[in-house]
A and B are shown apart, each in its own frame.
Chain A
């Protein structure tokens, strides 16, 4: 990658992060209009965006962010109140910023029109300023007056030593100097020599970018030197007319400093340095680790009777395990990356529909493999849209039902064993299982007789059937159930499961369970019909060897009784169509059974042979065979052959 495109990529990545941050913060601000922390955080994000855009030479983006920054500055200085209107305006602005950044990503040009918006912003700024009761201030002094923002206090406190003194310095430069910015630069440079320069106005960056320097230079400096000495040093610089210096009491700062543990501030301190890495490189690394594992397994299989060989194998085993672990860690990203987009989306949708919805997020820092996260956004959007459109009722309807006028959607993620569970619950109208079943009958997905023996969950599951949703009318937001088949197929592709539960009048809950990672997993190898198959270990609860008399019959179904529970037995050979309808396993003396769990259900899968446990690299069967029943993927085993992975959840 050449330098330019490298910078561009960084610019794009960071821009999208800032846009996300802006959206999140404004949502928060709408709920807590008085929270200065949030305003400052928003302001900083906008400011950083502006700086980056200016550095990269994107004029429209610079102009737009500059306007927004100005607006935010007014909010920060209490000249503007946070109203719903203002929030809408800010969101519109962020959408424009996003559109511009996307333009840049596509073809490097800023194609989106921003003038109308800027005009609109200018209007509200003027209108609201005249209304706002801001104290009149001397012109010019306000803009340049340095003030230590609360978030800077922490920086000051963290960098200060016992003997240090904090100074607030104001340097007056000769106004007719030809080299204002050079002089200003010299002042800052000198200050940096004298101590730790916390902040200056104008900043070093502003000076380097040769912004017009007018008026005084203000600085916050931590130093062990006497005030008088600092003053003299600064005065020695050419064109410096006067230096004012005063000390700031440490205790004053500590009192006001924001608490380190507050989440708002968590990014700023004590974070290890990070690098951005192209995801493709990580994928490649993962593949290499996979290859390494396969070859390690092959070595393992060699029958070498040498002490040193065993030694080496053990070492190799340890290193590959650790390597695998580290690579997995690198690929893990918090689910907040997608969760945090949703409050904004729900807000916009619900406003269009005249509904009031509160989105609650729990467990946003739950980590998932990057490749899973990327795939997950779409299904979640479908579920949420349905919840907003059909789940949550209008405020008046809710009141009639005796519910709070504001509906609630709870997004929750957590880890459970080697799985990640994501729940999306709304307290809306719920879905009537019988009505779903009736619709399914109308669409010939099922017969009336079949429905009779179905329970609620089985009936509700019809909404995931492709034949169910495609025939529905599509409204603006989403048709009833439209896209639910997409949810199911994506989740299935990720080797996960989606479940629905709903109570009419109370709400609907979707539960998605996903494996922690897709790439590499521990598996139990088994043999059926002379072929090896892998069963992911996270689905296996135990393995048993039975004798024929252990097998009982319940209503024609073979079962075993295990610790007081009745577990149905299923022949893998039959499921895989190797023809075992006559239950030949009953003729064996020893019957190997793998007990697997799927949700709350446990079943026993009868296999021909239990082989061993090993690490496998999961590979997809590919688009051509994607819908294959009971097979979820393939892996390459020691000898280079392919072994299929049993989709035990669906067998169950």
Chain B
């Protein structure tokens, strides 16, 4: 099928079924795949030197210099209290803009950008990939595997009572 046709087709389905689709940036943390709303993502960079900031939560890796701007970097591994086991070469920082602030998310690897029907997203189970439910927006199915959709606002600004 030609791209144009595809588009038309997509448009048609969208109109007919009023399916709402959301675009996600898919990244790896360990063996699981995670997604965040692409509207929040500004850019993806290779990590350079991250300056640690004392007296912050342990999941704050530090700050980086992004073209003259100081940006905090949150290590999602640590935020989700997971064991790190990745190969550092492929690590990336996804710069997101949330609550008018730029924040970097340190992840293993950025894989792809996908569309997902909103109705294919289910409420999060108690635990997904070992992460507490409160940090998750939902779980979607992508071909044959599961995509865990992260609620960034809660992840970054939520109360860390544990």
Q: Is A319 an interface residue (CB 8 A)?
A: no
Q: Is residue B21 within 8 Å, beta carbon to beta carbon, of the partner chain?
A: no
Q: Which residue of B lies closest to A633 (CB)?
A: B70
Q: Across the interface, do A577 and B65 meet the contact criterion of CB distance under 8 Å?
A: no
* B55 in complex: contacting residue of A290, A629, A640, CB < 8 Å: A629
A625 in contact with B51 (CB, 8 Å): no
Question: Could you tell me the distance between the alpha carbons of A636 and B51 in the complex, rounded to whole angstroms?
Answer: 11
Indicate if the CB atoms of A623 and B70 lie closer than 8 Å. no
In-complex Cβ contact of A622 among B49, B51, B71 (8 A): B71
The interface residues of chain A lying within 8 Å CB-to-CB of B51 are 531, 634, 641-644
Q: Are B102 and A631 in contact (CB under 8 A)?
A: no
Residues of B within 8 A of A577 (CB): 54-55
Q: Answer whether residue B101 sits at the interface, using C-beta atoms and an 8 A cutoff.
A: yes
Contact of A621 among B49, B63, B65, B156 (CB under 8 A): B63
- Compute how far the CA of A404 lies from the CA of B99 in the bound complex, rounded to whole angstroms: 51
Kindly count the residue-residue contacts between A and B in the assembled complex, taking CB atoms under 8 Å apart. Answer: 69
Q: Is A642 a contact of B55 with CB atoms below 8 Å?
A: no
Interface size class of A (residues with CB under 8 A): 20 to 34
Q: Is there an interface contact between A291 and B55, defined as CB atoms closer than 8 Å?
A: no
Q: Is B64 an interface residue (CB 8 A)?
A: yes
Q: Say if the beta carbon of B26 comes within 8 Å of chain A.
A: no
Across the interface, B63 reaches (CB within 8 A) one of A576, A578, A634, A640, namely: A634
Tell me the complex Cα distance, A604–B32, Å: 50
Q: Which residues of A contact B99 (CB under 8 A)?
A: 623
Q: Does residue B158 face the partner (Cβ distance < 8 Å to A)?
A: no
CB distance from A631 to the nearest CB of B (A): 6
Q: Is A337 an interface residue (CB 8 A)?
A: no
Give bound CA distance, A576 to B72, whole Å: 17
Question: For the complex, what is the distance from the CA of A633 to the CA of B69, rounded to whole Å?
Answer: 12
**Additional 6 contacts, C-beta under 8 A, given A621-B63, A642-B65:** A622-B101, A623-B100, A625-B60, A628-B56, A634-B70, A644-B63
B20-72 contacts to A, CB under 8 A, are: 49, 51-56, 60, 62-65, 68-72
Which size class do B's interface residues fall under? 20 to 34
Nearest-CB residue, chain A, relative to B156: A624
| Cβ contacts B81-116/A at 8 Å (1 or 0 each) | 000000000000000000111110000000000000
Q: Is A117 an interface residue (CB 8 A)?
A: no
Is A619 close to B, CB under 8 A?
yes
Q: Contact: A631 with B54, CB < 8 Å? A: yes
How far, in whole Å, are A630 and B53 apart by their CA atoms in the complex?
Answer: 10
- Which are the 3 A-B pairs with shortest beta-carbon distances? A576-B54, A642-B51, A629-B55
User: In whole angstroms, how far apart are the Cα atoms of A60 and B94 in the complex?
Assistant: 53
Q: Answer yes or no: A620 CB below 8 A from chain B CBs.
A: yes
Measured CB to CB, the closest approach of chain A to B58, in angstroms, equals: 11
Determine the distance from Cα of A575 to Cα of B56 in the docked complex, in whole angstroms: 12
Known A-B contacts A622-B102, A624-B103, A624-B156; A642 and B70 likewise in contact (beta carbons under 8 Å): yes
Q: List the B side residues contacting A291 at CB < 8 Å.
A: 68
Contact yes or no, B54 A622, CB < 8 A: no
Contact of B53 with A631 in the complex, beta carbons under 8 Å: yes
Contact A578/B49 with A622-B72, A625-B63 known, Cβ cut-off 8 Å: no
Chain B at the A interface: SS class: strand
What is the bound-complex CA distance between A165 and B51, given in angstroms? 76
CA distance A622 to B51 in the complex (A): 14
Bound complex: CA A336 to CA B70 (Å): 33
On A, residues with C-beta under 8 Å from B are: 287, 290-291, 531, 575-578, 619-625, 628-631, 633-634, 636, 640-644
Closest Cβ of chain B: how far from A287's Cβ, in Å?
A: 7
Inter-chain CA distance A630–B55, complex, in Å, is 8
Query: A642 — which chain B residues lie within 8 A by C-beta?
Result: 49, 51, 62-65, 70
Task: Using CB atoms, name the residue of chain A closest to B49.
Answer: A641
Flag if B70 contacts A576 (CB, 8 Å).
no
Q: Is the CB of B55 within 8 A of A620?
A: no
Q: With a CB–CB cut-off of 8 A, which chain A residues contact B49?
A: 641-642
Question: 29 A-B pairs, CB-CB below 8 angstroms?
Answer: A287-B68, A290-B68, A531-B52, A576-B55, A577-B54, A578-B54, A619-B68, A619-B69, A619-B70, A620-B70, A621-B63, A621-B72, A622-B101, A623-B101, A624-B72, A624-B101, A628-B56, A630-B54, A630-B55, A631-B53, A633-B70, A634-B51, A634-B70, A640-B65, A641-B65, A642-B62, A642-B70, A644-B53, A644-B63
Instruction: Using A625-B72, A636-B65 as known contacts, say yes or no to A631 and B101 having CB atoms under 8 A apart.
Output: no
B157 — nearest CB in chain A belongs to which residue?
A: A624
| A-side contacts of B69, CB under 8 Å | 619
B99's closest neighbor in chain A, by CB? A623
Q: Which residues of A contact B63 (CB under 8 A)?
A: 621, 625, 634, 642, 644
Contacts of A640 in B (CB 8 A): 65
- Residues on B with C-beta less than 8 A from A622 are 70-72, 101-102
| Chain A residues in 8 Å Cβ range of B102 | 622
Chain B residue numbers with a CB within 8 Å of A576 are 54-55
How distant is the Cα of A529 from the Cα of B36 in the complex, in angstroms?
Answer: 36
Most A Cβ at <10 Å: residue of B52, B63, B72, B102 = B63
Per the bound structure, the CA–CA distance linking A624 and B152 in Å amounts to: 13
- What residues of chain A lie closer than 8 Å to B103, measured between beta carbons? 624
Q: With a CB–CB cut-off of 8 A, which chain B residues contact A630?
A: 54-55
Please report the C-alpha to C-alpha distance between residue A575 and residue B99 in the assembled complex, in whole angstroms: 30
User: A640 vs B63: C-alpha distance in the bound complex, in angstroms?
Assistant: 12
Chain A nearest CB from B48 CB (Å) reads: 8
Residues in B neighbouring A631, C-beta threshold 8 A: 53-55
